[in-house]
Chain A
């Protein structure tokens, strides 16, 4: 049997048996199924509140007497603040507010409650607002106008194509969810997989197994088998995710509905997801191999490798900026920069369309970086894989690389 394939098989089986790998692979489907299950349990046990909330008010301005039923809230008028306070202490009412005499000119409403809050509940604030506006506008404008003033718009946006037709993808948060979640998982998978390469080579170097292996196989066979074996395990992980996403989405959409039913999987998402995983993994893996060759211990190598893997997770640090300006030139540059490209492109893909030229440039730069990284890693491996002890200085590495 081909020795590269033997190493490939060994690394693949070794990786998929790792506890960390199994947990990460099944985490997405299991958590999503758990989420759906918990939703059903909670929705079965907890019913929406039907109890009427009673809110007191003191009308010092005058004229606020009607529209005292706002949804499940009832507004009860008190003549004085003292009377309202007594009712609050006796828990006859949940809270009260005062409409001061100068309310119409200054717009200030004083609210009193016995609960400590970060901010007033939005349902209460809306009920008070609608009570005030309804009373202010009563008799001035038709009732339908009052309703429209209280809820002036429900914005429905439609994205058109260059030909003026309705675009197949309408964007929005529903479109961002799948690439966003996938981006997080992709970053984790890239980091884990390349760490496995680093750990594998590092351990073989650290525990001196490398010499035994190299007495049976060439450096090329060892690296190829290892990188592809671990990479294939990572690919299986990504495929489990991309296959389970549509299934879970259908399940969640039909059983939960609401926002979940608006979630879409962008076209070409699966193809791009797999492509960027393969390219991203190969880049991080060859760099990890080079780092493992020059590091004295696995721990030292991991420290050095984390500098590169930071780029994979960096897009999440600027997520809000990315959402606000997804087509900013800086994101275009980082979509082409090979270390940040895989995750950043997937995120931008969910937020806005990534032009074809940017995808092409990003993939081309990734491929070139992989080839360059492979040549560099192979040289480093040949030179340093059997050197134990102190890590060589950067100057020495450069000198040795020049000498070939």
Chain B
């Protein structure tokens, strides 16, 4: 059973259609990337999933039912816009917000200690939120997001403002969550993070789905007709190559439509050059993002 199922959801504001007939599902044990340019409708989609705003039409089910008070307790949400009670202590903030997720005081305090320890934040337990750095505040918010052992974790731009050490720490924790069988939705602009962490993605633009599915399959669909070649010697004219793009340490060869990667390798070997790298060029997610979003804007 999918953890999240979004069916033909539409949401419009006074002057804008924010989400237009969007459908997707998220299953247990995966990190699902929700990506798209600014204003694409990602946050609106997340808010509809959280039942913070209602869709004009379509429906959203979480754990097989419409979001209820009980199912809200199985859900952890780290919003893009973050904040906490500035005058409250770290531990009081965690316990209060955990209690709103149905946790008892004792279990919340015990689990908070574990997570604070895991994130090296235990020495700051008694400090007021306003005494923490921005990065530390984000770690506390992440702890609040997962303290109640949610089945579904939604993370909206979780790496924004984090230093590399804390970024790696959070990434490891996301992978842990996936390995525990949780469904993790990761909404971010940082394509390298999506590429590194996500199993499947949904790319939305202008409120509509433009790419949806397994990340490896999507990338293979966008595989360009070119080869990365590292070599020693003189590379003359090679039949089937219409353009050479020299780079530091390698050259990218653009093939014509009739030449396969195998045929090219055979022709290169026959030229007698020493080949130390031969790689079918795969576009990065960032390039795919730019291509898809760019096409949509044309």
Chain A interface (Cβ < 8 Å from any Cβ of B): 1, 3, 6-7, 10, 203-204, 206-209, 211-218, 386, 388, 396, 399-400, 403
Instruction: Please give me the residue from chain A that is nearest to B87 by CB atom.
Output: A14
**5 interchain residue pairs of minimum CB distance:** A207-B83, A208-B81, A215-B77, A208-B83, A216-B100
1/0 contact string of B50-88 vs chain A (CB within 8 Å) = 111100000000000000010011010101011111100
B165 lies within 8 A of chain A by Cβ? no
B116 lies within 8 A of chain A by Cβ? no
B98 nearest CB across to chain A (Å): 9
Chain B interface (Cβ < 8 Å from any Cβ of A): 14, 47, 50-53, 69, 72-73, 75, 77, 79, 81-86, 96-97, 99-101, 141, 144
Complex partner residue of B82 from A208, A213, A403, CB under 8 angstroms? A208
Would you call B81 and A216 a contact (CB within 8 A)? no
Complex CA distance for A399 and B14, rounded to whole angstroms = 9
Complex CA distance for A213 and B141, rounded to whole angstroms = 12
Complex CA distance for A396 and B14, rounded to whole angstroms = 9
CB neighbours of B96 from chain A (8 A): 6, 10
Other A-B pairs beyond A208-B79, A215-B75, 14, CB < 8 Å: A6-B96, A203-B85, A208-B82, A211-B52, A211-B77, A211-B81, A212-B77, A212-B144, A213-B97, A215-B52, A216-B97, A216-B100, A386-B47, A388-B81
A403 and B14 contact, Cβ closer than 8 Å, known pairs A215-B75, A388-B81 = yes
Would you call A1 and B99 a contact (CB within 8 A)? yes
Consensus secondary structure, chain A interface: helix
CB neighbours of B14 from chain A (8 A): 396, 399-400, 403
Would you call A386 and B52 a contact (CB within 8 A)? yes
Residue in A215, A386, A400 whose Cβ sees the most chain B Cβ within 10 Å: A215
Complex CA distance for A148 and B100, rounded to whole angstroms = 78
Would you call B84 and A217 a contact (CB within 8 A)? no
Would you call A207 and B97 a contact (CB within 8 A)? no
CB neighbours of B52 from chain A (8 A): 211, 214-215, 386
Residue in A203, A207, A209, A211 whose Cβ sees the most chain B Cβ within 10 Å: A211
Residue in B14, B51, B72, B83 whose Cβ sees the most chain A Cβ within 10 Å: B83
B140 nearest CB across to chain A (Å): 11
A215 and B72 contact, Cβ closer than 8 Å, known pairs A6-B99, A386-B47, A386-B52 = yes
CB neighbours of A1 from chain B (8 A): 99
A213 and B83 contact, Cβ closer than 8 Å, known pairs A3-B69, A386-B47, A403-B14 = no
CB neighbours of B73 from chain A (8 A): 216
Would you call A3 and B100 a contact (CB within 8 A)? yes
Complex CA distance for A207 and B141, rounded to whole angstroms = 13
A209 and B84 contact, Cβ closer than 8 Å, known pairs A215-B50, A386-B53 = yes
B121 nearest CB across to chain A (Å): 18
Residue in B52, B84, B144 whose Cβ sees the most chain A Cβ within 10 Å: B52
CB neighbours of B82 from chain A (8 A): 208, 212
A383 nearest CB across to chain B (Å): 9
Complex CA distance for A7 and B69, rounded to whole angstroms = 15
Complex CA distance for A218 and B72, rounded to whole angstroms = 10
A207 and B75 contact, Cβ closer than 8 Å, known pairs A216-B97, A386-B53, A396-B14 = no
Q: List 29 A-B contacts (CB under 8 A).
A: A3-B69, A3-B100, A6-B99, A7-B100, A203-B85, A204-B83, A206-B83, A207-B83, A207-B84, A207-B85, A207-B86, A208-B83, A209-B83, A211-B47, A211-B52, A211-B79, A212-B82, A212-B97, A212-B144, A213-B97, A214-B50, A214-B52, A215-B52, A215-B79, A218-B51, A218-B69, A386-B47, A386-B52, A403-B14
